[in-house]
A and B are shown apart, each in its own frame.
Chain A
């Protein structure tokens, strides 16, 4: 139990306490486990877009190119949310329709298509990045949100279809049959019977897709110039004279949305994970 708590908490605890310290305090020996005089300077620096809140005690050197890097974090988080929401929306509509088709109306070749879909989950997104890069360069979509939205479908859509199919499969189809005898069309069945019943599945799939999109780093790194939050935070590391304490605060900012989502919607997420993987 102790090992568990240490393993999970220690790195996080260190990040949280660091974010309330000054750079001078965090480097002190022996190590300070609790900030002596907790400061919010790191957080306010990020909100203000100031990359050197402690320039006095960090040595007071002249900071060139790094001045506006911190400013990018908040807008990038906003863009992360937008990209994530659009990706979720496309996944639920396009992926949901396909999942329902696979679950209820197997068309000719459905089985092969479905197997192909499963196989595509194994293809690593990293391995197929170069065509995207070349294509987006040609179409001048590099460094735009659409480039990310399009490329994020690579790893989210198969996941969403897989997950949603398993939820649709668990909705008893007798309900639809009864409705159809009453003269409801296929589309009406889907919209007014199946979708409400499969709501936990839609929520779980939406949350998992959003978290994946939020966390994505590789495509964001190579296809954009720090458009979303993860590459911005990673980019801060490369700055000269940028202190860990402020970086810690930036990391915390970027952690708040996914951790909040995961903790609040634990039930849906665990159920979705269990379904998405154990099949």
Chain B
């Protein structure tokens, strides 16, 4: 295991989010020092300026512009007209949107549970000593390296009604008596799209958990063992509290990824059958690029952005709240 990962996670545990270094060491005369400090600040500003411009131009401006679009009717030729909150009004009266909103919540939660749960299980497994552990860890990284959309394509055919290996395996095991077209049923399509996305993300979660697990000092569980703690007690009282910060981060990342998931669902079902898997991101895509309704699409984007920000705030709150976080969020 790389030593960097250990120190990295350990540093993450102790350091606060942003602790700017104190400026340069003290000089003999106060005046000289203050001039030097001013020069330091200027130097810092020059270094950071290009990045700040890029971030303002590429994130702040489009975000504000999206907000503006959401209050407008935007015609294809570029003509715009202010319509107030009309887009939002229409949106929340649209049963398809409400359906999509609920579906996204269900999808995000299912995705969160499957990917985080499997990730934790894999990490605990790969943290044990066994033959071929290195190979297993290398395998673990492969799904993570797989682009989301490719994961979607692979799973689409994996679950395919005619050629899919899923059918092949279940059929030969005697679980099903005939090949099933999993993706043509509403729940089937939803389940497969959760699994396909979680297939990639479980690896990511496991990689992070594994890095966290490796920072647990050996003495801790060993001493507990000597004192007669059971495996479950060791897990609950040592491993879980130790992993708490990592768990919180993984949960937040997974919720956000679940809410924003587009690639996998686009590749698998494009929102179908019907609108059974039409989550917010797909709904947004259709409004913007199928119906070319920029105003309405931007209103959806604003809803999506607000949800993401709320989750982000929750993340900050959870991460910096004292007390046991894992109890509340698991």
Contact = CB atoms under 8 A, between A and B. Distances in A.
A69 interface: no
A231 B125 CA distance: 35
Nearest to A128: B62
A95 B51 CA distance: 6
Question: 7 shortest A-B CB distances, which residue pairs?
Answer: A31-B168, A105-B44, A98-B51, A215-B147, A122-B312, A278-B12, A262-B145
B318 to A, nearest CB: 14
Contact of B163 (A7, A27, A102): A27
B172 A153 contact: no
Nearest to A211: B145
A89 interface: no
A129 interface: yes
A186 B42 CA distance: 12
A143 interface: no
Contacts of B262: 126, 217-218
Q: Which of A103, A124, A151 has most chain B Cβ within 10 Å?
A: A124
B41 A8 contact: no
B168 A30 contact: yes
A274 interface: yes
Q: Which of A97, A267, A270 has most chain B Cβ within 10 Å?
A: A270
Interface stretch (A37-45, A50-58, A70-78, A243-251): A243-251
The size class of the interface chain A forms with chain B is 35 or more
Nearest to B259: A124
B224 interface: no
Interface of B: 2, 4-5, 7-9, 11-13, 15, 17-18, 20-21, 23-25, 40-48, 50-52, 54-55, 58-63, 65-66, 69, 78, 118, 121-122, 125-126, 130, 136-150, 153-158, 160, 162-165, 167-169, 171-172, 179, 199, 202-204, 207-208, 210-212, 245-246, 249-250, 253, 256, 259-260, 262-263, 266-267, 281, 284-285, 288-289, 294, 297-298, 301-302, 304-305, 308-309, 311-312, 315
A254 B11 CA distance: 36
Contacts of A130: 62, 65-66, 69, 288, 294, 297-298, 301
A188 B146 CA distance: 40
B141 A266 contact: yes
Nearest to A190: B47
Contacts of B302: 127
A129 B288 contact: yes
Contacts of B288: 129-130, 133, 222
Contacts of B130: 1
Given A127-B301, A131-B66, A279 B150 contact: no
Contact of B48 (A10, A110, A154): A110
A9 to B, nearest CB: 7
